[in-house]
Amino acid sequence: MDRVGTVDSYEIKPEKFGRYVLLDRIGAGGMAEVFRAVMPGVEGFQRTFVVKRILGERAKSPYFVDMFVQEARINALLHHPNIVQVFDFGNVGGTYFLAMEYVRGRDVSELLRRLRNCDRPCPVAIATFIAHEVAVALGYAHALTGADGTPLHIVHRDISPSNIICLRTGGVKLLDFGIAKAIGEPEVEKTGHGMFKGKLSYIAPERIKDLPVDGRSDLFSLGVVLWELLAGQKLFRGKSDLQTLKNVAEMEIPAPSALRPDVPPELDRIVLRALARDPAERYPSGQALADDLDRVLELLHHQTRALPDLLHEVYGAELSSRQIPNTALTSELLAACAAETSNVSAGGPTYPAGQLPSSEDEYSISIGTAVPVRPKPGPMSWAAATIGTAALVLLAFGRGGGGRSQAAPGATAPPIVAPAAAPEAAPPPAPQAEAPIAPVAATPPPAVEAAPAQPAAKPARHAHYSGKGRIARGLSVDPFAEAASRGGK
């Protein structure tokens, strides 16, 4: 089965959720549940997503709503091939959701379980490759800056095997920035129950001591994941949460080669440096860690096909893609969604000027996607349109409104329709040879009264909208702030 985030899968009755159809539930956590979903479109278009929506009981809590909106805010900033992309964030009937890319593969936690069941160790080169790809993603996230160049200091704070996906095509992706923190975000390190957010056996020692946290805390967590990939067992997990925290803070950490002789000394050194309890002794950045791991991969002669080959050997036919349930209800829901979204662009629903949706309880925006906005005509456009229209009117009067005609006798001139607007810089028409003018009587032509000057048409002004419901129209400058304010109402 294809999984994202958690390992349990539950069959559910297909459900229409906004412009998505939820097919089956992939898993659930303390804050949200995750579904495999399809967004249908016109002409049979369909795309599969993973929809993560906040749990019903959590949707009433401002604390959890703020966490969910914070996740959307941070994911909107992240665009990297090793990070699961979030495409959509919105609210359907009071329930906030995220729509993410659907990746096919297995998380590292499940892969380790399957390997243990097969009594098979994870190849050293593959373990190194997985850590290398996550280190590259962390290096990108940690170094990300805002539009003005100010560092954002994003920290994931939940690096663990279940949040690392190994793709069946060979890639590795990091997911779930649900408890990540960026500069300017409120620090909420503990839950209402007094427990640390994140998984205890992977948190850095400085978090236990309530010391400042930066990207090096994520590198410690990645060091734990790499150690467990190599050793095939847990590093810090104890019989109780208190014992686990004590192990994180004090336990002597053996080198991976002590449990597995085929681990090269260079890799031992890298793992132990990442696991240094003093942040100053760890790698300064994810990219620095990735550079050292890259040299080990060269030493081990790692092949790009090694990871997908391992997944196919361990899972076999289970890796085949899942199909959309072919049920009457699913087909009916997909058809209904396709009909409703026939006018929805990739940037979210759009509405004609002056018209608003009847209900603002349901809205959705696409993250990182520019919403097309019709540009207002400039002065030059209207000047060109006015001049072009006047010229066509004079031409009509000169040729067919009482002036000398060049048409053959008895012929009826076709009606001339003036275009609504002329292009700003249209190229001059190619010169054409005029037909010879037939001789006519010397009677002077009747005087043609000058047409009254028509005032230039004024550009239609867009209706002024209040800020309420701007997310539904793709007009909000900061949709996440507005979404948070809606959640608090």
Residue with tokens 């909106």, as numbered in its chain: 69
> Cα Rg for the chain, rounded, in angstroms?
32
Dihedral sign for Cα atoms in the order 83, 84, 85, 91: negative
Task: Give CA separation, 147 vs 72, 77, 101, 150, 380, in Å.
Answer: 18, 10, 25, 7, 32
Dihedral sign for Cα atoms in the order 468, 469, 473, 479: positive
Q: Where are the beta strands (DSSP E) in 29-130?
A: 32-40, 46-54, 86-92, 95-101, 105-107
Tokens linked to 17: 């959720």
Task: Give CA separation, 79 vs 85, 215, 307, 334, in Å.
Answer: 7, 18, 23, 29
Q: Are 179 and 158 in contact (CB under 8 A)?
A: yes
Q: How many Cα neighbours within 13 Å face the side chain of 192? A: 8
User: What are the two backbone dihedrals, phi and then psi, of residue 33, each rounded to the nearest 5 degrees?
Assistant: -120, 150
Q: 369 by DSSP, 3-state: which?
A: coil
From 158, 218, 278, 294, the catalytic residue: 158
User: What are the two backbone dihedrals, phi and then psi, of residue 63, each rounded to the nearest 5 degrees?
Assistant: -60, -50
Residues β-bridged to residue 83:
174
Task: Provide the pairing of β-strand 95-101 with 172-174.
Answer: unpaired
Q: Which of 414, 383, 372 is nearest to 396 (CA)?
A: 414
Is 158 one of the annotated active-site residues of the chain?
yes
Q: Are 212 and 104 in contact (CB under 8 A)?
A: no
- Region at 18 (left for phi over 0; alpha for psi -120 to 50; beta for the rest): left
- Positions annotated as catalytic residues are 158
